[in-house]
Structure 1
Amino acid sequence: MEFTSIQALLDAYKRGVTTPEAYLRQQWTQAKADVNHCWISNISEAQLDGYIKALKNSNPELKPLYGVPFAIKDNIDLLGLPTTAACKEFAYSPGSSAFVVQALIEAGAVPLGKTNLDQFATGLNGTRSPYGACQNSIDPTYISGGSSAGSAVSVALKQVLFSLGTDTAGSGRVPAAFNRLVGMKASIGRISCRGLVPACRTLDCITVFAHSVDDIEHVLPVAGQYDPSDCYARDFSESDSEVTYSFDKPRIGVPRDTQLEFFGNDNYRRRFTESKAQCEALGAELVDVDFSPFLDAAKLLYHGPWVAERYAGIKAFFDEHEADCDPAIQAIIGGARGLTAVDAFNAQYQLQALKKRCDAILNSVDAILIPTAGSIYTIEEMQADPIQLNTNLGFYTNFMNLLDYAAIAVPADDESENMPFGITLFSDKGTEPKLLEMAKAYTGKSRIEVGERIPESMVMAVCGAHMAGLPLNHQLISRQASFLEKRRSAARYQFFALAGEGPKRPGMVRTKEGGNRIELELWEMPTARFGDFLAGIPSPLGLGKVELDDGTWVTGFICEEAGAAGGRDISHFGSWRGFLASKSDS
């Protein structure tokens, strides 16, 4: 008997169509017969009997995952089976299950075993394992995606109904894309990482694979229970309860066409274009965004000192057993030995500067849509060029945890004649409810709705007396606003020195044709201080949306066209500072 959703299985139990014992024994037998190299170890029949007995002695109504089989990536602890991280010499027997595993078991879920992965969770392809290259569920000559290879394929082959993976560079998303699954990479700290062999401890996320967004929604509240003993855990329960949904047209950012990369895969390029069209057909407004700062951040993960964090996680073992590791792992982790604390701090400064830019772009839209991966490769191709092709797989994923964002990967289409292609929606940390709703709408081909959340801070563009060092800048400073960067508007504005008493100030008026680029400063202000700031803005000025020269929109000062009457057109100066300098020169 086959089930592809958690709710369908629970309903079958309730109706007596099957029993937990019959179904779990069937799935355990199927998992043990796997030929795709999904599993490193399975529970014994005696262990399975123990789980079945525990279910018989419990109340199904109190266990939301009653009798649901799942798989665990073998860098996450399960009491009773060794944890190997796909390295036989590293294997140890844990004294307890990982926090998230124990939470799932207490909710009635039954682990069938530990799944294959790229060794030490270092890779995105699924071939870097002494337990065999994990084969794709659709075509075994293709890679499964990694490092959470077996976790994804075991779900895709319906051996289990959901699984736990991990994600540091994309390992919870790329395998989902290559096996027609949903992969939820929640915010850092939402799912406890206590009991996980770290890759990059500050960035690691435990992830969930399933066949549908509904199943992710079934599992995530259980898996995402707050763990006060995990120093990197974060409690999002309060912010989740504040989310409401509206029917306003959501704005979804997409990278400019020139910033997309498909590595020669025209099939994937076409399907991403069709994915964008589907979003528009479902009610979203697509907005081109500058993707370059996200790509620059991505380069830091493997070409910066975060590789040293991978080394730190297994240093004692690696220094003694480097020769026992996969050659690609030796090259990547071994290369971290020459990195210094100075390198780490310099990269942190670079990342923080990039995050300011990326956050400003992300705050201008409700979410950003990207391909999950730009191409897919055969196992033979991957093994012939393991470093470069793996780098290609991380093009759209490596930045996500560095920038502290949440993401969900979903199948893009139903093209069964082709290898799977997937898309990812991402937004800021703590926005999982919004992303789940949008992903559900996309996969269900229903109207896309957007979760409305009041952000902690807002980015504002100023063009006149509120700029740094000018007379009204104190109004920003006193409200804990911080300077982000200098920018220019799109070439769609006229700029006026307004008439009237009080501090001299300009007004930007949007034009239907022509116009000029005006120098701006972007400032970030706590949302709680926006109300009293807005109340003090005199007519004819106000706050609205200002278009930047990269096509994104931010909140900023705008002026009514009638309010500019009597003012002096100073557009040719291009900036308020330029105009003031001309007055002082005269």
Structure 2
Amino acid sequence: MSATAWSDATGSLDLTTLRRGYEDGSLTPSRVVNAIYDRIAARGDDHVWIHLVARETALEAARKLETEGYDGRPLWGIPFSVKDCNDIVGLPTTNALKEGAYVATSSGQALDRIFEAGALLIGKTNMDQFGIGLVGMRTPYGACSSVFDERFISGGSSSGSGVSVAAGLSSFSIANDAAGSGRVPAGFNNIVGIKPTPGLVSNACVSGGGCVKTIETLSVFALTVEDGMAVLDLMAGYDPTYPFSRPEADGVTLTPSAPPPRFRFGVPKGEALRFFGDTEAERLFNEAIARMTAMGGEKVEIDFTPFDETQRILYEGPWISERALSLDSVLAKYGEAIHPVTRQILSRSGNFTALDTFAAIHRIAELKRDTRPVWEDIAVLMVPTTPTIYTKAEIAENPIELNSRLGIYTNFVNLMGLCGIAVPNGFRADGLPLGVTFLAPGFEEARAAGIAAAFHRETGLTLGKSDNPYPPAEPSALPEGYREIAVVGAHLSGMPLNHELIERGGIFLRAASTLPAYRLFALGGTVPPKPGLIRVADDGAAIAVEVWALPVEGFGDFIGRIPAPLGVGKLALDDGSEVTGFLCEGMAVAGQADISHFGGWRAYRAAGA
């Protein structure tokens, strides 16, 4: 990066750009911090911040890093913001209730790890009071707007967090998500929202440990999927001090895995796909389906009834009562100081009995059971992040009903224990952005993130409000504890035995070809049909393969189940590497059809053979 390549006014804050600038010396943390505070001043009173760190305080932290020297920590010199329901030692937490402000004495495991990685805090951001709402208007600090039109809502409840990233005021923001707060602002501001599986990240930093402890989670807003997942990877992990943290969190792989050349993706079926009259939103979602198909995906229409029923339970059922455990005393103490819409919602918390609660728990268990076959058939479920977007005036006129509409594709996700990655999709004719969200089963963030990142790149959209392009992709490293395996036939993506890789934690790495030193044969009598690959001394051909990675324990089990005459050996690829892959006994191909001229098993099958 040259010294003039990065503009103080418009330079991108994505992690790739900043890291390269720090590494080659063309950028310094103090220059970036000064640029951010100039941008904040230029925006004026945009209602993003509840507590803005003083410029000189942020510069002091930046200069300290510079004095110590660049040390390669993953977030060294990276500016970030935090939603104001999360505690940071020495700073006030308000939950968007001024009268309830207190100074935090701890930050919790997740945020401690962010600071330890070298990140620089810019400030704490505005939000819907107590995190109740998807609109960003239920706050005494003034309502944020979408960065693309001040008449329209920013989305919430993590409103200021989303805007701070989209407007180029922070590289990422730590937010929260119970019903969609970590996804809706992403859709309305052309950025990425990472919503992890509940329990993957400790909520110890959340004020009071959270008020919907059974389902809520920290979330991340970022400019790219890779940035968001890098931050999530740092925060994730079991926290023995937090009762809703899950021990298995320590073993979850969070490196995005590239989508295979063929995969199946779900979309809501029929009338479940609702846009409330927004024809532009409908157009954009249809374009998303076409984009996924062009990426190699096969659309599968999903019965959305169980998901829709679950989303209605969140606010129409007894889950609102969980908030009462934390907020009834606040409601009693502060009364009229609480936002009237928030107060109206909380007043319903006593309308449900213990019987109602257990009935809802049992019903959600049944609905989760009913959806399990869905996840066996698809890699991800793609939904609109929201069905539409509203103006501030529309929300003020009808605050509860329109907020509920915004949650029809978000409310069910945490109740069902799923993960989700929200990414930009495109712009309506009026210049307002909308997004899509990729959902996957719990702890399958890497799979969802890989597809989401590829989709985001395919849109060709710039980052946030800026004209900055998506940074070039960096080569993906083999995850620790994984081994490569090259497949050539029925285990290829979209083929009958690919599930054997997926079930063992397989991750697609890349499509490749062998050196022109092999022959491929169709093995008669195999079920499902399989090819046999042999190496030859003369007259060889280059054969298409897919390179996957399996966890070591899954690798051994997979290899042990390969039936004769197939086996494994080293395959020489045209990039000069050697990978363990499928080979066949030479005697087994005698009298079998030589299909090498097709260049691979997929092409042979596509030809109707």
| 1:318 paired to 2:331 | yes
* Deviations 1:70-93 (CA, angstroms, capped at 9, x unpaired): 010000011222000101111111
- Per-residue Cα deviation, 1:227-268 (whole angstroms, up to 9, x for no partner): 222221223342428997673521101111321110110110
Structure 2 match to 1:85:
95
Q: 1:254 to 1:390 in 2, by over 3 A?
A: same
In 2, are the aligned partners of 1:36 and 1:140 still within 8 Å (CA)?
A: no
The DSSP-based 3-state class of the residue aligned with 2:265 is strand
Task: Report the 3-state secondary structure (helix = DSSP H, G, I; strand = E; otherwise coil) of the residue aligned with 2:348.
Answer: helix
One of 53, 70, 73 as aligned partner of 1:43: 53
Cα separation, 2, equivalents of 1:156 and 1:246: 26
Say whether 1:215 aligns with 2:198. no
Q: Is the 8 Å Cα contact of residues 407 and 427 (structure 1) preserved in structure 2? A: yes
> Do the aligned residues in 1 keep the contact of 2:127 with 2:158 (CA within 8 Å)?
yes
Q: What residue in structure 1 maps to residue 463 of structure 2? A: none
Aligned partners of 2:109, 2:195: CA distance in 1, in Å?
17
Task: Please give the alpha-carbon distance, in whole angstroms, between the structure 2 residues aligned to 1:247 and 1:438.
Answer: 9
1:454 maps onto 2:463 in alignment:
no
What's 1:481 paired with?
none
Unaligned runs of 5+ in 1: 457-527, 536-586
> Who is 2:171 aligned against?
161
The TM-score, its normalising length taken from structure 1, stands at: 0.74
Query: What SS class does the counterpart of residue 371 from structure 2 fall into?
Result: helix
- Name which of 98, 119, 138 aligns with 1:109: 119
Report the CA distance shift for 1:261/1:455 in structure 2 as closer, same or farther (over 3 A).
farther
User: Out of 190, 212, 217, which is 1:180 matched to?
Assistant: 190
Q: Which residue of 4, 7, 17 maps to 1:8?
A: 17
Point out where structure 2 has 5 or more consecutive residues left out of the alignment: 1-7, 460-472, 474-491, 506-553, 562-609
8 Å CA contact 1:243–1:433 kept in 2: the answer is: yes
Local SS of the residue matching 2:82: strand
Aligned-CA RMSD value: 2.5
Does the Cα contact within 8 Å between 1:441 and 1:449 map onto a contact in 2? no
Code of the residue aligned with 1:205 in structure 2: it is T
Q: How does 1:151-550 map to 2 (within 5 A)?
A: 151-197=161-207, 198-234=210-246, 235-240=248-253, 247=260, 249-413=262-426, 418-445=431-458, 453-454=502-503
TM-score (ref. length: structure 2): 0.72
Residue 487 (structure 1) aligns with: none
Quote the Cα distance in structure 2 between the aligned partners of 1:219 and 1:246.
21
Segment of structure 1 superposing worse, 441-450 or 12-21:
441-450
Aligned to 1:568: none
The code of the aligned residue for 1:98 comes to G
Shift of 1:26: 2.5
SS at match of 2:21: helix
The structural deviation recorded for 1:5 is 1.2
Q: Which residue of 1 aligns with 2:157?
A: 147
Give the drift of 1:409. Answer: 0.4
Using the aligned pairs only, state the percent identity: 34
Q: What letter corresponds to residue 445 of structure 1 in structure 2?
A: E
| Residue 22 of structure 1 pairs with residue 57 of structure 2 | no
Deviation string for 1:327-381 (max 9, x for gaps)?
1111111110232222111111111111111222222211111100001000011
Call closer, same or farther: CA 1:317–1:224 in 2, change over 3 Å.
same
Q: Which amino acid aligns with 1:155?
A: V
Q: Which amino acid aligns with 2:360?
A: A
C-alpha contact (below 8 Å) 2:52/2:122 kept by paired residues: yes
Letter in 2 for 1:211: L
Q: Deviations over 1:133-192 (max 9, x none)?
A: 111111011000000000000110001111111110000011000000010001111121
Please say if residues 236 and 250 of structure 2, whose CA atoms lie closer than 8 Å, have aligned partners that are also in contact.
no
Partner of 1:68: 78
Q: Is 367-376 or 444-453 further displaced after alignment?
A: 444-453
Number of aligned positions between the proteins = 459
Report deviation, 1:314. Answer: 2.1
**CA 1:356–1:285 in 2, change beyond 3 Å: closer, same or farther?**
same
